[in-house]
Amino acid sequence: MKSFLAMTTEERQAAYQQEKAAFEALKAKGLKLDMSRGKPGAEQLDLVIGLQTVIQTNEECFDGDLDCRNYGNLMGIPSCRKLWADILGVKVEQVMAAGNASLNLMYDTISKAYTHGLLHSDKPWCKLEKVKWLCPAPGYDRHFFVSETFGMELIPVPMTDDGPDMDVVETLIQDPQVKGMWCVPKYSNPTGCIYSDEVVNRIASMKPAAKDFLLMWDNAYCIHEFDGDFVPFPDIIGLCEKYGNPDMVVEFASTSKVTLPGAGVACMATSEANMKYFMKLLGFQTIGYDKMNQLRHVRFLKDKENTLALMKKHAAVLKPKFDAVVNGLERELGPLEIAKWSHPKGGYFVSLDVLSGTAKRTVALCKEAGVVMTPAGNPFPYGKDPADSNIRIAPSLPPKAELEAAVEVLCVCAKLAALEKLLAE
Binding site for a copy of itself (CB under 8 A): 37, 39-40, 42, 45-46, 49, 52-53, 55-58, 61, 67-73, 99-101, 103-104, 107-108, 111, 114-116, 124, 126-127, 142, 145-146, 149-150, 256, 260-263, 281, 284-293
Angle between helices 9-28 and 400-424 (to 10 degrees): 140
Closest CB 111 distance from a copy of itself, rounded Å: 6
Cβ contacts of 1 within 8 Å, gap of 6 or more: 335, 336
Nearer to a copy of itself, 126 or 387 (CB): 126
Nearer to a copy of itself, 63 or 332 (CB): 63
Nearer to a copy of itself, 202 or 291 (CB): 291
Cα separation of the two ends of the chain: 22
Nearer to a copy of itself, 221 or 341 (CB): 221
Nearer to a copy of itself, 286 or 306 (CB): 286
Beta bridge partners of 183: 217
Nearer to a copy of itself, 12 or 257 (CB): 257
Amino acid at 109: T
Closest CB 296 distance from a copy of itself, rounded Å: 8
Q: Is the peptide bond before 158 cis (omega within 30 degrees of 0)?
A: no
Closest CB 74 distance from a copy of itself, rounded Å: 11
Nearer to a copy of itself, 105 or 338 (CB): 105
CB 315 within 8 A of CB 133: no
CA distance 393 to 342: 10
CB 393 within 8 A of CB 373: yes
Nearer to a copy of itself, 111 or 205 (CB): 111
Cβ contacts of 405 within 8 Å, gap of 6 or more: 31, 33
CA distance 83 to 92: 9
CB 191 within 8 A of CB 226: no
Nearer to a copy of itself, 263 or 339 (CB): 263
Closest CB 125 distance from a copy of itself, rounded Å: 10
- With CA atoms as reference, report the closest residue to 349 among 25, 59, 35: 35
Closest CB 55 distance from a copy of itself, rounded Å: 5
Q: DSSP 3-state helix, strand, coil percentages of the chain (rounded to 5)?
A: 45, 15, 40
> Chain-centre distance of CA 299, in angstroms?
27
Nearer to a copy of itself, 36 or 219 (CB): 36
Closest CB 415 distance from a copy of itself, rounded Å: 32
Closest CB 325 distance from a copy of itself, rounded Å: 20
Closest CB 46 distance from a copy of itself, rounded Å: 5
User: In a 3-state reduction of DSSP, which class is residue 90?
Assistant: coil
CA distance 390 to 388: 6
User: In a 3-state reduction of DSSP, which class is residue 164?
Assistant: strand
> Chain-centre distance of CA 134, in angstroms?
16
Closest CB 161 distance from a copy of itself, rounded Å: 29
> Cα-flanking dihedrals φ and ψ of residue 169, to 5°?
-60, -45
Closest CB 99 distance from a copy of itself, rounded Å: 6
Torsion region of 152: left, alpha or beta (phi above 0 gives left; psi -120 to 50 gives alpha): beta
